[in-house]
Structure formats: structure tokens, C-alpha cells
Copies of this chain bind each other. A is one copy, B any other.
Amino acid sequence: MDGSSDWFRTTPAHPLVRKFRNLGIDRDEDLQPLVQAIKVKRKVVRGRDVLRTGRCPAQSTVLLRGVACWYRTMANGRRQIYSFQYAGDFCDLHRYVLPDSYDAVAAQTDCVIGTVPHEDITQIIGRHPKLALALWRATILDAGIVRERLRNMQRPALARIANLLCEQMVRLEAVGGDALVIPIRQLDLADASGLSVVHMNRTIQDLRRLGVLSDQSRAIEILHKDRLVNIGQFDGGYLDGRELLSHSM
């Protein structure tokens, strides 16, 4: 990656640093034990599975670059996408705690992933209470995202899609990408929002006609953030660990 195999360890913008700031780990040295436990790094090309349904390996996976989606297939073959994942997110940390073999993660764009052996996580948890709590928090934050997706199902298509796009926009911003172009196909947005591809397409065009999305290309490009937020009744509080941590009495 970028010539140096240690890019992810030496760069100050390590995706895990940002992620764990959001989880309450402010000092980079506190994060070191975890960063150093990331063992194998490899690429996964767009469309392939990062991890599959089946027996759970004794390791968890971190997304270091790219966009992925966490999903499970239905009996009829369709997918329900639980959430999208960005650089710094764990793909399957919940499997460290409770191995379940139902769901899978697929690469939405070309990805770079790392793996952390579960025995290393066990050691980290035993020795570093702060990191232990942060890891727990990471799974809780994921759960909050899924709950918002469930809540989103109550909304009609226009608001539902707007809301989904808002979340991706905010999370893209957080990882420093171009947050205005959403790098996700309409098919995948459909699988994430429980709508048919056809209706997804029609509704996206409604958003274009409203001037919220650009109609200059087939890409999903956000022109008016605030109108999108408004249409989608979006409140990103559930994404912001820092803000959530300040809520306690």
C-alpha cells in the first residue's frame, strides 16, 4: 500500500485513531496495543466478500480503507444490508464476543483490511481496561446504527432514502473522503432501505428534481446537505460517540 507496508502504522492519520477518538480514546499511545495487534493486511476488490457466512475464524477484521457493507441474505435470495462500513470500522467485532455465522461483509469499493487475532483481543482487554471499554463501545455504536436503520423503515421512500444518504454523508465526512459523492450503487441502497431498485431509482430522481441531488451525472452527488437532512429528518447524534459520552449524569 503506497509503497510502504507499514503505511498504516506510521501515518498519523491511521483510520483507527479517528475511530477510537470517537470512542473515548484520546491519547494515541493508549491505542498502540490494538494497532500493533493488526496482523495481516490485504486488499479486497469491489464486489468480493470481506468475510463470509460460515464457521467463525478466531480473528476479527478491521476495514482500513474503502467502503464495505454488512449484510445477511434472505431466503428468497435478496440481501438485507444492516449498515455500511468505512475505514476504521470493525467488520465483525461482535463475533469476538459471540460467534455467529449468519452474516457477511462485502466490499463496496476496493478495500484494504487488517485482521486481529481474538487471542490478542483477549490480552488487550485483560491489560487495558480503557481499550476494553472502547471496543465494547464500538459494538454498541454499531448496534445504534442498525437501530436507526430499523426506525428508518417507518418512513416513506423519499425520507427513508434521504435519511440513509445523510448517514453515509456524515460517516464519509468523518473519514475525510469526498462526502458529497456517495460511492454506493442504487442496488445496494435499495438492499439497505428495503425498497426495490426501481423505486429507489425513481425516488433518487425525485431528489434530483428537487435540486437536492445533482442531475449532472448518474452518480449520487449531494448538492444541498441541509435540505437532505430536513427531508430525511436526520439527526446524526447516534453516530457521535463523543457527544453520547457527554450525556451521562
Write the residues of chain A forming the contact surface with B, with a CB cutoff of 8 angstroms: 55-58, 72, 74-75, 78, 80, 82, 94, 97-103, 118, 125-126, 129, 132-133, 136-137, 139-144, 146-147, 149-151, 153-155, 194, 233, 237-238, 241, 244-245, 247-249
With contacts A140-B94, A143-B146 known, is A245 near B80, CB below 8 A?
no
Q: Which residues of B contact A133 (CB under 8 A)?
A: 97
A189 to chain B, nearest CB (A): 14
Copy number in the complex reads 2
A39 to chain B, nearest CB (A): 16
Chain B, Cβ-Cβ closest to A118: B248
Q: Are B56 and A247 in contact (CB under 8 A)?
A: yes
Q: Are B142 and A143 in contact (CB under 8 A)?
A: yes
Chain B, Cβ-Cβ closest to A101: B247
With contacts A136-B139, A139-B143, A249-B57 known, is A244 near B98, CB below 8 A?
yes
Q: Which residues of B contact A55 (CB under 8 A)?
A: 247, 249
Q: Which residues of B contact A154 (CB under 8 A)?
A: 74, 78, 80, 194
State in angstroms the CA–CA spacing of A75 and B232 once bound together. 11
State in angstroms the CA–CA spacing of A155 and B71 once bound together. 16
Q: Are B151 and A100 in contact (CB under 8 A)?
A: no
Pick from B58, B98, B149, B153: contact of A144, CB under 8 Å: B98
State in angstroms the CA–CA spacing of A237 and B72 once bound together. 14
